[in-house]
Amino acid sequence: MKLPIYLDNHATTPVDPRVLDAMMPYLTTAFGNSGSRSHVFGWEAEAAVDEARHQVASAMNAADKDVIFTSGATESNNLAIFGVARAYSQKGDHIVTGKTEHHAVIDVCRTLEKEGFRVTYLDPDPTGRISAESVTEALTDRTVLVTLMLANNEIGTVHPIAEIGGVCRARGILFHTDAVQGFAKIPFDVESMKVDLASVSGHKIYAPKGVGALYVRGRNPRVRLAPLFVGGGQERGLRSGTLNVPGIAALGKASHIGLSERDEEASRLRALRARLLDGISGALPGVTLNGAPLPAIEPDGGLSPGEPEHRLPGNLNLSFAGVEGEALLMGMKDVAVSSGSACTSASLQPSHVLKAVGVDDDLAHASIRFGLGRFTTAEEIDFAVAATTAAVRRLRELSPMLSARIAGPVDRA
């Protein structure tokens, strides 16, 4: 086992060697501009983009032409939300979203509020889910967009996307999902789930940083967007700019691998996650599981028959009573984890996601997000259990009066 070990795969993932192999030709010999139609270098680049577009589309059951390549999730979310709001402003001025969304969604909505739009921020239930019923109650005759993530980046909770999509479709309201954390990891089908726009990012699925995509439904209904960038007309005029061919080829390959290996990988990660939770909770009192309950699994990590799963297979978010999260992170030598979203890791404020699901400030500050991934091993999990347990015990010893009040098994609710 090589130290340090990496358990922060929700923040970013290492590039899969197979993905690196797929992109290397477009960094070296096949370096053409995909917009150059007069020579073989451009043709090779264009062919790579077309293949990647098909691979990304196939991973979500979309039409190839409805996939627009971007620089990543933040741009995709911005293009979707700003694009719909401004293109449909004559029809309505109301948007529905959730309090547990990533800041790449929440901050866009706050900006639109300054422009005169009205935004409803829905409360999740204690597990982090937002129901189709709560979405229905929030809709008005002026609602033009509902934007809710597929799976939460901090607590891993999966929303009932198909039910929410059905509500929106029945009302003629566009539905966007930030699918970044769940894409190519859990089942996601834009047709059966009635999703109109979906954001994905390469570096969450073992491709490089700096490349992503936005699914924009082309028919039934056809979605109109006001572009963020103009000049060149690439990507149906919705995202002008020379295409990042190496990154796009990598995103395509990563999407293909994710889809083809998704179920097997999910089972393996569930088994490792159970090993991690059982190891920590068996050694420490005062541990709380944040987010959706873990499903019952078979020994190989497969779901038990009829057992629902409302959580990403590789996610485990725990709060440790009697410790401070930042001190715990520093005390867990050689284990790379986080206390929340990587985009807000420098903030001293408690996680807005944990606050939204009712976690008090002390426990929110004492939370750790473990993100298991494709290259995580059982040996690494055992090391993480030992490191976490030792660090928590050491910190609790510094507050003996508080530690004396901590007792009981892990709260799995």
Just list the catalytic residues: 343
Burial grade of 169 (CB within 10 A; 0-12, 13-18, 19 or more): middle
Packed helices 378-397 and 245-283: angle between N→C axes, nearest 10 degrees: 60
DSSP assignment letter at 343: G
Largest CA distance in the chain: 76
Give yes or no for a contact between 181 and 8, defined as CB atoms under 8 angstroms apart: no
For the chain, the 3-state helix, strand and coil shares in percent, each to the nearest 5, are 40, 15, 45
Phi-psi region of 166 (alpha: psi -120 to 50; beta: other; left: phi over 0): alpha
Burial grade of 193 (CB within 10 A; 0-12, 13-18, 19 or more): buried
Amino acid identity at 310: H
The structure tokens listed for 162 are: 């198909």
* CB proximity list for 265: less than 8 A, separation 6 or greater: 185, 313, 374
- Residue 151 to residue 179: CA distance in whole angstroms: 7
- Residue 223 to residue 216: CA distance in whole angstroms: 6
Within 10 angstroms of residue 342's Cβ, the number of other Cβ atoms is 14
- Residue 173 to residue 142: CA distance in whole angstroms: 9
- Residue 57 to residue 190: CA distance in whole angstroms: 10
List, as one string, the DSSP characters of 211-243: -EEEEE--SSSPPP---S--SS-TGGGTS-S--
The structure tokens listed for 181 are: 């954390």
DSSP assignment letter at 36: -
